Amino acid sequence: MNDTSTQTDTLEQLLARTGTGDRAAFARLYQQTAPRLFGLCVRLMQDRSEAEDVLQEAFVSVWRRANRYNSSLGGANTWLTAVVRNRAIDKLRQRREATNTDPLEFERLPDASHGPDARAMASADYLRLERCLEQLDPKYSRSVRAAFFTGATYKELAERGQVPLATLKSWIRRALQQLRTCLET
C-alpha cells in the first residue's frame, strides 16, 4: 500500500490504518464519513450544538478504539455508524427528562423517507432491509422506524405514541424477530 493509493482506500483500510495511529488516514476517514454521520447526529439529537458534541466525542473515540475494529464482524461504515449512534443514544439518556414529548402518531408516520436520489445510492443491505420492513404489519415497521430515528426508549415511545408499553414492546419485538427471519432468507 503506497501513498498514491490513498485516494482509493476503502473505509476499512482507512479505519485499520487509523488503528495504527496514522493521522492522515484518520483525517481522510473523517472527511469521507463526517457529513453522513453528522446528519445522523442532527436527526437524533434535534439540536445542532449537541450534534456537534456527539460527532466530536464519537471521532475521538474512533481514534482511540480503531485498533479494536474487527472487519470479520462487519464493515467500517456500520462500525462507525454504531459508534456515533451509541454515543448519541447515551447522550439522549443523560438528558434529565425527555425533552421531546411531542405526540408520535404511529399511524401517520411516513413508511419511508427515502427520496429517489438517495435510493439510487442505497446499499444492497439497505434495499434488503427496506424490502423486509415493507413486509411487516405497518404498525410494526412504523414503530421500528420511530425508534431508530428518535433514539427513544420503549417507555418514551409508548408515551409519545399513546400506546400501552406492553403493546409497543410486543410490536417492536415481533418486528425484530420477523426482520431477522426475513433477512436470513
Summarize as ranges the residues that interact with other proteins (CB under 8 A). 21, 23, 27, 30, 34-36, 38-40, 42-43, 52-53, 55-61, 63-65, 68, 73-75, 78-79, 81-82, 85, 87, 89-90, 93-94, 112-114, 118, 121-123, 125-126, 128-129, 144-145, 147-149, 151-155, 157, 172-173, 176-177, 179-181, 183
**How many residues can be counted in the chain?**
185
Q: How far apart are CA 71 and CA 98, in angstroms?
A: 36
DSSP string across 133-153: HHTS-HHHHHHHHHHHHH---
Which amino acid appears at position 113 of this protein? Answer: S
DSSP state of 96: S
Q: How far apart are CA 54 and CA 119, in angstroms?
A: 27
Distance of closest approach, residue 92 Cβ to other proteins, in angstroms = 8
CB nearer to other proteins: pick between 5 and 111: 111
Q: How far apart are CA 26 and CA 11, in angstroms?
A: 10
CB nearer to other proteins: pick between 5 and 94: 94
Distance of closest approach, residue 13 Cβ to other proteins, in angstroms = 19
Which amino acid appears at position 177 of this protein? Answer: Q
Distance of closest approach, residue 141 Cβ to other proteins, in angstroms = 11
Distance of closest approach, residue 135 Cβ to other proteins, in angstroms = 14
CB nearer to other proteins: pick between 4 and 70: 70
CB nearer to other proteins: pick between 4 and 65: 65
Give SS3 for 33.
helix
Nearest by Cα to 61 from 22, 26, 28:
26
Distance of closest approach, residue 2 Cβ to other proteins, in angstroms = 21
